Chain A
Amino acid sequence: MVEETKSYRCRCIVKGSGSGEALVSREPMCFYLCDPLTGTVIEKNHPLQGKSLAGKVLVLRSGKGSSVVQVDGFYQLWAKGNLPAAIIVAEAEPVLVSSAVVVDAVMVDRLESDPFEVIEDGDWVEVDAVAETVRVTKRSSS
C-alpha cells in the first residue's frame, strides 16, 4: 500500500483549518436539507443522500436555496457539532459564503486543480485556509 500525498494551492474564504475524509458532491447543496443531529444529507435524489458530512472535508460544487434556509442549515449543523471539518467549494456564491462565515465553517475555493479531478470520496484531506493549502492523501489504491 503506497500513500501518495499531493499539495495544492487554494484561496481562503473562511479562515481556519480542518482535516478529514473527503466527501465529494458534484451537485450544489442546501444545508437545510441535512439532519442536524447526524449531519446526514436528507435531500431526495441528492448524490449524497444518506451520507453524513459531519467531520468530513466536503468538496462541493456550490450552494443552493434561499438565504434564510441556508443560514439556518449551517447554524443547526454547527449547534449540534456536525459541520464538515472544512469545505472546498468549486463555485462560491454569496449565500453559501455568508452562511459559512456566520458559523466559522472553514472554507476555501479556487483550488489550483479541478477538485473533482484530484479528490475522491475517502481520500484524507487537510485544509489549511490560513496558509491557503490543501493536502490530499489518496486512500490506499486498489
Chain B
Amino acid sequence: MFLSDEEKRMLDGEMGQGVRKAMELLVALGKTFDAERLIPITRAHVALSGQEGDTYWCGLLADGGARCKVPPTTNPAWDVTNLSKRFEVTDSELDLALRTIEVYRKIGAQLTFCCTPGLSTNVPAFGEHVAFSESSATPYVNAVLGARSNRESSVSALAAAVLGKTPLYGLHLDANRKGQFLVQVEATLEDPYDWGLLGWFVGRFSGSRVPVFNFRTLARRPSPEALLYLGAELNTSGAVPMYHIAGLTPEALTLKEAFGKTPPDAELVVTEEDIRNQEEAISEQGGPINLVMLGCPHYSYGQIREIERLMKGRRVREGVAFWVLTSFEALELAARSGEKERLAALGVDLVADTCIDEPCWKSFEGGLGVTDSPKCAYYRERRGQPFVIRSLQKCIEAAILGEVR
C-alpha cells in the first residue's frame, strides 16, 4: 500500500504512540484488502460498547497522545447518572462505564451515545467517504443515504477518526457497491417491525453479499426507521453493510442501475408466510413477562409518539417494566413536548445514552421479555434473558396484560 511521507512518519511513531497504533491498524486493514492507499474521510461513528477491549483500545490511543482529527459520534454504553439509581450494578461495572466515558472524552469524540447517527446527529450526504461502525448504522448510511463506509468495527472506526483517513477498499469503490443477488418481495410490509423481519430473513441467506430488493407492490414509501430496521437485522443475521431497493434507494433508481448490467433472476422470493415464519422461528413462545424493551436501534421521536398513540391512556401492568431506549435529542424533544411525562404516568420510561446489551439490565435476567427487535433478542439471550419478538402494537398489548398471549 502506498503511504505518503507524512503517513510513514506516523507509522514510525513520530507523531506519538497513539497515532502510530491507529496507523498500524489502518495499514494492516489496507494490506488485507490490497488497498492502494488511504483516502480522507469526512465523518466517523464509533460503536463504543463499554466492553473492556474497546475501552482499552480508546485509552491506548488517547493516552498515547492521539486526538480525533474527525470527531466521531459514539454509540451508547448506559446512562450511569440515571440508571445507577434505578438498578444495581457492581463497582467494577460502574467503574468501566465511567472509564469508557472518560477515555472517549479525552480522545475528542462527540459523546452522543446514540446508535442512530444517520437519522440525526451525524448525517452524511450522498457520496461522502466515512467510517461508520454499528451494525444498524453502516447499512443505513450506505444504502439509504448513498454515503460510503465499509463494515467497520469500533476499533477501526476510531483509528479512522484519529487519522481522518481510511484505506481505499470495499464499499469506497464503485464496483463493490453493485447488487450481487436479487430478492423479490411478495410480502406486504406495514411497520418498521415487518422490515426488520425481512432483514433478518434475507441476512441469513446473504452472507456478506449485497442484496437488491424488488417489491411487487410498495404500498407506501418506508419510513427512515423502517429502512434502519431492515439494515440492522440484515447486518445482524448476516454481514450486510450495503443493500439496494429498486426504485427507492439512491443508487438503485432502476433494477439495472442496482446491478450495473442485466439484473439476474431472483434468487430469493419472500412471501407473507416467510415473514410470519421468521417471527416464529426466532421468538420465544408467549407467557408472563417482566420487561418490555424497545429501542434497538434507538427509537426516534416519531416512534415515541407512536407508543403514546397505541397506549390509549392505559397503564402498564404492575410488575412489568417498560423501557424505551432513545437518543438524547428525541428524549429532550419528548420532555419538552410532554410525551415523556405522560408516558411515565402510564408506566413507560424513556432513557437516552443506553444500549440493551449492558449490565444495568441484569435484574430482569431470568425472566421473559418482549421486544420488537430481533437484534435485541439475539444479544439479550447471551446475557440470560429470553425474549418474545412481536410488533410494537403487540408489545404494548403485552405490557398492559403482563403477558404475551
Contact = CB atoms under 8 A, between A and B. Distances in A.
Interface of A: 11, 13-14, 66-76, 79, 92-95, 97-102, 107, 109
Q: Which residue, of A71, A92, A109, has the highest number of chain B Cβ atoms within 10 A?
A: A71
B150 A67 contact: no
B51 interface: yes
B32 A93 contact: yes
13 contacts: A13-B32, A67-B155, A68-B154, A71-B53, A72-B51, A72-B52, A75-B52, A76-B53, A94-B32, A97-B28, A101-B28, A101-B155, A102-B53
Contact of A71 (B21, B28, B32, B153): B153
Interface of B: 21, 24-25, 28-29, 31-33, 47, 49, 51-54, 56-57, 60, 133, 135, 150-156
Contacts of B153: 67-68, 70-71, 94-95, 98-99
A74 B25 contact: no
A36 to B, nearest CB: 10
Contacts of B154: 67-68, 71
Contacts, number: 81
A42 B52 CA distance: 20
A99 B51 CA distance: 13
Contacts of B29: 94, 97-98
B236 to A, nearest CB: 8
Contacts of B51: 68-69, 71-72
B378 to A, nearest CB: 10
B54 A76 contact: no
Nearest to A96: B32
A95 B239 CA distance: 12
A69 B51 CA distance: 9
